[in-house]
Amino acid sequence: MRISWGYTRVVLLAGRYAVKVPRPTFTRLIGAFWNHFKNGTLRDVLRKHDGKLLKQTAFILRVHGGVEANREEARFYEKHADLPLAPVRMLLFKGLVLIQDRGIPASERERLQWLPSRVAARGVPVHDDLVCPDHICVLNRAVCLIDYGNEESRQVLVDLFAAAT
């Protein structure tokens, strides 16, 4: 098993699967509490989650965006399973855990052929996530994206691949 650290999530790479969980950070947690305190909404937020351990945990971890990224990735795959995406197999505990199929890293040649040729043809600006070598893999002999939790990345994918069909 290998562990990979992303900006919003920690990814456990085990066998055929990638398990994504939110990556909380202390500074973000303090920042979120401070913002709620400053805006006068802290009491409401804590009251809303009072006595509900799973909801409290989800709130704390959502501070860094990992829960939202998991949820959005699952929704996007459900809606756009025809795009070259690593399949989402399960979303558990309201987004605290996302399980995807895991591919093998794509070669530089495969990565360069996959996205930039489409981008050059359509002039679409590319989000960094779409060209990061760690986010592109080969799964079932097809090059696909394994990290698509970012809204800008998802929009570029839709623009590129929907126009091709």
Percentage of residues of the chain with pLDDT beyond 90? 15
Statement: residue 149 has pLDDT above 80: no
Task: Identify the pLDDT of residue 133.
Answer: 75
Whole-prediction pTM? 0.70
| Span 97-137, pLDDT tens digits | 999 998 888 888 888 777 655 565 555 556 566 777 778 88
For the chain, the domains span 2-23+64-164, 26-62
- Coil, strand or helix at 42: helix
Residue 19, H or E segment: strand 17-22
